[in-house]
């Protein structure tokens, strides 16, 4: 591990405060290039000093293994990744701050000019957001000059890892909740204000109906949604005299809005509301339960308020909702927070697979990688994903050329399943950036949400289940296996000298 001593780089006390302290720790596009790990910059300096910085390199982002009890992942975060790449540049002030650290005192002079003049000029291949993927399948590939492809690693992993986690959890929640209303309530539990925005976006794209995060909703062109908190009930009860008066006041300003009824006595509150609804004194669209035995309480509330939607919240996740559904809980909607926006991380990695046309791979025990630029080929059978094949990107072009010749032979086969599989092969990675410029239009949240639903629906039941799921089989193509062995042999030969 490379470490750097805590040296005094010649700052005065005022300079130290001006250059180092920023209590807000906020992020803007001008800072994007510096939101990276130090070793990305030190490696770039080395590449520059050795004259390698402009060599064409390909890196792929993938996960080696899925989180426990996850049968698939929903790819998400590409939109923010592309925005980042389009705006990637080093500001003069950012370069000055790097120079002032003293860490790069021996870096070549053209390292600084590279940063000052550089932009992202590479290509990006990726699976569209909302697509289900499995272990070892690239969600994204960057093909660019080595220094560019290296520097963007940290930010790409940050956005794709986190948003893919949230989108996957959201898709699983939608799968088990069926048509129930699902709201994202995770802002206060997200790991940062920025994370809360990404979590809200990924949750909506993954299948949830709305978010309580006002800023996220407005930026996404959505309408924020929410109910009320216990604080309002307690404050107005104390000042106005009763829980019922608190409900009346809230309804005065937000007619028909759902009411939180478990602050004191859930059933007693429901009985009083039922009397008002039945007498025509109040119109009520819904109530929320945030504690207690949700199965028993929801059934009792339903008997008292049969025409009113019942909403539940309180550390819920897909397993708990599955339990509630199985137990016959009378719940029409759920609020998801802590367990949606936190939980098991996605340990995505970003690895070099080709440099200057030379396939490369990592040999480390338990962390070996496949060499070369790759493509995912998905096979469908009667609308369901049958298997994936991880092959070389070059295979896609080769197979297109062979397609006409193979068609005649395929039509002669007596195995209809084989014929269907061959006609249903779909390459998943698509070109999104060419020479740093977009080649596909920006997708709407609705389009991504629909792709997520379609993608999940196409998965086998054993892949969608929550306990001991079985992922879709990912086969390694013959060409990739041969390249892997060839690369191993070449590497061994080079290491022997």
Query: What does the alpha-carbon distance between residue 114 and residue 117 come to, in Å, rounded to a whole number?
Result: 5
Any idea which of 1-5, 109-113, 415-419 has the lowest mean pLDDT?
415-419
Chain-wide mean pLDDT for the chain? Answer: 90
Report the pLDDT value the prediction gives residue 413, as an integer from 0 to 100.
Answer: 42
What's the mean pLDDT in 467-493? 94
Q: CB of 139 within 8 A of CB of 133?
A: yes
% of the chain residues with pLDDT over 90: 82
What's the mean pLDDT in 469-486? 96
Instruction: Tell me which of 331 and 16 has the higher pLDDT.
Output: 331
Report the pLDDT value the prediction gives residue 492, as an integer from 0 to 100.
Answer: 82
Residue 220's pLDDT band, with cuts at 50, 70 and 90, is: very high
What's the mean pLDDT in 46-63? 98
Given a cut of 70, is residue 4 above it in pLDDT? no
Q: What is the pLDDT of residues 118-127, one digit of tens each?
A: 999 999 999 9
List beta partners, residue 354: 58, 359
Report the pLDDT value the prediction gives residue 427, as an integer from 0 to 100.
Answer: 96
Per-residue burial over 447-480, b = 16 or more CB atoms within 10 Å of its CB, e = otherwise:
ebbebbbebbebbbeebbbeeebebbebeebeeb
Per-residue burial over 175-201, b = 16 or more CB atoms within 10 Å of its CB, e = otherwise:
bbbeebbbbbbbbebbeeeebbbbbbb
Q: What is the pLDDT of residues 255-288, one digit of tens each?
A: 988 999 999 999 999 999 999 999 999 999 999 9
Query: What does the alpha-carbon distance between residue 331 and residue 288 come to, in Å, rounded to a whole number?
Result: 10
Q: CB of 252 within 8 A of CB of 246?
A: no
Residue 24's pLDDT band, with cuts at 50, 70 and 90, is: confident
Query: What does the alpha-carbon distance between residue 100 and residue 9 come to, in Å, rounded to a whole number?
Result: 7
pTM: 0.90
Q: What is the pLDDT of residues 336-370, one digit of tens each?
A: 999 999 988 899 999 999 999 999 999 888 899 99
Residue 77's pLDDT band, with cuts at 50, 70 and 90, is: very high
What's the mean pLDDT in 403-425? 46
Residue 21's pLDDT band, with cuts at 50, 70 and 90, is: low
Given a cut of 70, is residue 497 above it in pLDDT? no
Taking the mean position of all CA atoms in its chain, how far away is CA 374?
21
88, 329, 438 from 121: Cα distances, Å = 10, 54, 11
Residue 20's pLDDT band, with cuts at 50, 70 and 90, is: low
Q: What are the tokens at 364?
A: 């480390």
What's the mean pLDDT in 226-251? 92
């Amino acid at each position: 591990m490379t470490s750097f001593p805590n040296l005094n780089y010649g700052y005065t006390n005022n300079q130290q405060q001006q250059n180092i302290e920023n209590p807000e720790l906020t992020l803007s596009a001008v800072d994007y290039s510096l939101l990276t790990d130090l070793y990305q910059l030190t490696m770039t300096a080395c590449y520059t000093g050795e004259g390698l910085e402009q060599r064409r390199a390909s890196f792929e982002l993938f996960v080696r293994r899925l989180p426990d009890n996850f049968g698939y992942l929903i790819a998400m975060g590409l939109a923010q990744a592309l925005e980042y790449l389009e705006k990637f540049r080093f500001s003069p002030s950012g370069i000055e701050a790097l120079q002032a650290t003293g860490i790069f005192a021996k870096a070549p002079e053209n390292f600084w000019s590279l940063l000052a003049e550089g932009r992202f000029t590479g290509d990006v291949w990726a699976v569209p957001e909302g697509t289900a993927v499995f272990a070892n399948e690239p969600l994204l590939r960057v093909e660019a000059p080595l220094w560019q492809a290296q520097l963007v690693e940290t930010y790409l992993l940050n956005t794709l890892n986190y948003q893919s986690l949230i989108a996957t959890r959201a898709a699983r929640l939608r799968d088990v909740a069926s048509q129930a209303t699902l709201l994202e309530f995770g802002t206060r539990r997200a790991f940062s204000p920025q994370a809360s925005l990404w979590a809200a976006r990924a949750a909506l794209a993954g299948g949830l109906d709305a978010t309580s995060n006002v800023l996220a909703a407005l930026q996404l062109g959505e309408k924020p949604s929410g109910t009320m908190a216990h604080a309002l009930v307690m404050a107005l009860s104390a000042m106005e005299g009763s829980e019922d008066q608190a409900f009346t006041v809230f309804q005065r300003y937000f007619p028909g809005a759902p009411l939180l009824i478990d602050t004191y006595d859930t059933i007693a509150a429901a009985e009083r509301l039922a009397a008002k609804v039945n007498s025509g004194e109040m119109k009520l669209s819904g109530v929320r339960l945030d504690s207690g035995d949700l199965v028993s309480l929801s059934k009792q509330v339903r008997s008292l308020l049969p025409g009113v939607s019942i909403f539940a919240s309180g550390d819920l996740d897909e397993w708990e909702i599955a339990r509630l559904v199985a137990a016959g809980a009378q719940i029409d909607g759920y609020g998801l927070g802590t367990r949606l926006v936190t939980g098991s991380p996605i340990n995505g990695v970003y690895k070099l697979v080709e440099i200057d046309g030379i396939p490369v791979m990592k040999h480390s025990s338990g962390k070996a990688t496949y060499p070369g630029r790759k493509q995912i080929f998905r096979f469908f059978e009667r609308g369901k994903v049958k298997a994936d094949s991880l092959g070389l990107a070059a295979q896609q072009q080769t197979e297109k050329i062979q397609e006409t010749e193979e068609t005649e032979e395929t039509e002669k086969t007596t195995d209809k399943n084989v014929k269907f599989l061959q006609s249903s092969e779909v390459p998943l990675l698509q070109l999104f950036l060419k020479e740093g410029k977009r080649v596909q239009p920006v997708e709407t949240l609705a389009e991504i949400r629909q792709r997520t639903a379609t993608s999940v629906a196409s998965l086998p039941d054993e892949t969608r289940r929550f306990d001991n799921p079985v992922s879709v089989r990912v086969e390694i193509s013959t060409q990739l296996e041969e390249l892997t062995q060839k690369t191993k042999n070449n590497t061994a030969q080079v290491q022997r000298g």
